Amino acid sequence: MADDAISAARDAVQYSLALHDEDRVADARMELARLLGTVGNNVEAAEEFEQAAACFERAGRVALRAQALANAGVALSHARQPREGMLLSRQASQLFESMGDVAARSRVEGNIAVMHRQLGELELALTAAQRAEQVAGPDPEAAPRTVLVGLQAELALELGRRELARERAEQALRIARHVGEPQLIGRQLDLLAAVLLEAAGPQASLPVCFEAFGHYRRLGDEEAVYRTTVRLALVYQLLGRWPDALGALSDARGLAVRLGHTDELAKLQAGVAATQVALGRYAEAAVEAEAAIAAYRAVGDIAGLGRSLVTLGQCAEATGDNARARSLWIEAQGLLDGTDRDGAEAVAQLLGA
Contact 213/251 with Cβ under 8 angstroms?
Answer: no
Contact 113/84 with Cβ under 8 angstroms?
Answer: no
Q: What is the pLDDT of residue 116?
A: 97
Ramachandran class of 61: left when φ > 0, alpha when ψ lies in -120 to 50, beta otherwise: beta
- Kindly state whether residue 73 falls inside one of the protein's structural domains: yes
List the single range of 6-20, 131-145, 164-178, 323-337 with lowest mean pLDDT: 131-145
Q: Considering the chain, what percentage of its residues have pLDDT values greater than 70?
A: 99
- Kindly state whether residue 187 falls inside one of the protein's structural domains: no
Q: What is the pLDDT of residue 2?
A: 78
Q: How far apart are CA 263 and CA 243, in angstroms?
A: 25
Q: How far apart are CA 199 and CA 189, in angstroms?
A: 15
Name the DSSP letter for residue 20. Answer: T
Rounded to 10 degrees, what is the CA torsion of 67, 69, 72, 77? -100
- Kindly state whether residue 35 falls inside one of the protein's structural domains: yes
Q: Report whether pLDDT(73) > 60.
A: yes
Q: How far apart are CA 261 and CA 268, in angstroms?
A: 11
- Kindly state whether residue 69 falls inside one of the protein's structural domains: yes
Query: How many CB atoms neighbour CB 83 within 10 A?
Result: 12
Q: What is the pLDDT of residue 143?
A: 80
Domain of 4, CATH number, reads 1.25.40.10
Q: What is the pLDDT of residue 342?
A: 85
Q: What is the pLDDT of residue 344?
A: 86
- Kindly state whether residue 75 falls inside one of the protein's structural domains: yes
User: Could you report the per-residue pLDDT of 156-174, keeping only the tens digit for each?
Assistant: 999 999 999 999 999 999 9
User: Across residues 249-254, what is the average pLDDT?
Assistant: 96
User: Could you report the per-residue pLDDT of 173-220, keeping only the tens digit for each?
Assistant: 999 999 999 999 999 999 999 999 999 999 999 999 999 999 999 999
Q: Report whether pLDDT(153) > 90.
A: yes
Q: What is the pLDDT of residue 140?
A: 59
Of 234, 226, 172, 235, which is closest to residue 206 (Cα–Cα)?
A: 235
- Kindly state whether residue 118 falls inside one of the protein's structural domains: no
Q: How far apart are CA 342 and CA 353, in angstroms?
A: 17
Q: What is the pLDDT of residue 4?
A: 86
Domain that holds residue 22: 1-99
Q: Report whether pLDDT(37) > 80.
A: yes
List the single range of 6-15, 61-70, 119-128 with lowest mean pLDDT: 6-15
Number of structural domains in the chain: 1
Phi/psi at 119 (5° precision): -85, 0
Q: Report whether pLDDT(115) > 60.
A: yes
Q: How far apart are CA 56 and CA 51, in angstroms?
A: 9
The H or E element containing residue 97 is: helix 82-99
How far is CA 263 from each of CA 205, 235, 249, 301, rounded to the nearest angstrom?
A: 27, 22, 15, 11
User: Across residues 211-237, what is the average pLDDT?
Assistant: 97
* Chain Cα centroid distance, residue 340: 21
SS3 142: coil
Q: Report whether pLDDT(1) > 80.
A: no
How far is CA 332 from each of CA 98, 291, 297, 313, rounded to the nearest angstrom?
A: 60, 16, 12, 9
Q: Where are the alpha helices (DSSP H) in 159-281?
A: 162-179, 182-199, 202-219, 222-239, 242-259, 265-278
Q: Report whether pLDDT(122) > 80.
A: yes
- Kindly state whether residue 331 falls inside one of the protein's structural domains: no
Of 141, 134, 143, which is closest to residue 113 (Cα–Cα)?
A: 134
Q: What is the pLDDT of residue 353?
A: 56
- Kindly state whether residue 336 falls inside one of the protein's structural domains: no
Average model confidence (pLDDT) across the chain:
93
